[in-house]
Amino acid sequence: MARTAIVTGGTRGIGEAICLALQDAGVAVAATYAGNAARAADFTERTGIRAFCWDVADHAACQQGCAEVEAALGPIDIVVNNAGITRDGTLMKLSYEAWKAVIDTNLGGCFNMAKATFPGMRARRWGRIVNIGSINGQAGQYGQVNYAAAKSGIHGFTKALAQEGAKIGVTVNAIAPGYIDTDMVAAVPADVLDKIVARIPVGRLGQAHEIARGVVFLCSEEGGFVTGSTLSINGGQHMY
């Protein structure tokens, strides 16, 4: 049976890799983006995957956006909550606005997307939700109290919602990536990045396609006995 997926923040980095991997697995995919229309248009031209613009932190926009995707592609069977932002700073320097923006997008986006799609999955008695957490949500990270709190919250959200979905064929899992070779990581100063890589036992950054392969498995029929789990893909940097 053909499935339909939404990947939030799907037009770049890890999100793009997830979109392509699901497409290769025969899934009809929609990607969301928040504002870079030129990047989204390039993504669609290269991949043939439609991109829809809305802010996952906006509850009403998620309801409306998911309805538009369903009208275009059919009922939503798979949601990958990948969209995320950073607003780093130590607690003493962190503004309330920076705290709220990260919590609302990274954690609130998971809630908003689940609220928009879980009822349909429940009615059809099949669904897959994969939430992208982070090694920094497991281990913490200096200067990221907002980001670490949001990502840690994702892991708790995953375990709780998995219990609601288990008996109705809806699995809910998380993936906690380590440091992946994306634009965000590329922006880290070289000397700092060298220190990060030195702490990774396998001796390198991860690749976006390595996260995507984990997502594809969790979204597959074969992944149906896995729920409430967090898959850590971090090169051994944090064994949780």
User: Could you confirm whether 147 is annotated as catalytic?
Assistant: yes
Give whole-number Cα distances, 169 to 67, 115, 121, 149, in Å: 22, 17, 8, 29
Tokens of 59: 């509850």
Kindly name the residue from 33, 96, 142, 147 that is annotated as catalytic.
147
Number of helices (H), then strands (E), belonging to the chain: the values are 10, 7
Q: Which of 155, 111, 98 is nearest to 8 (CA)?
A: 111
Closest CA to 44 of 74, 12, 72, 68: 12
Distances (CA, A) of 15 to 7, 22, 32, 130: 7, 11, 9, 12
Instruction: Answer yes or no: are the C-beta atoms of 66 and 59 closer than 8 Å.
Output: no
Which structure tokens are listed for 194? Answer: 């060298």
**Whose CA is closest to 80, among 18, 27, 21, 135?**
18
5: closest CA among 17, 20, 21, 22?
Answer: 22
Active-site positions read 147
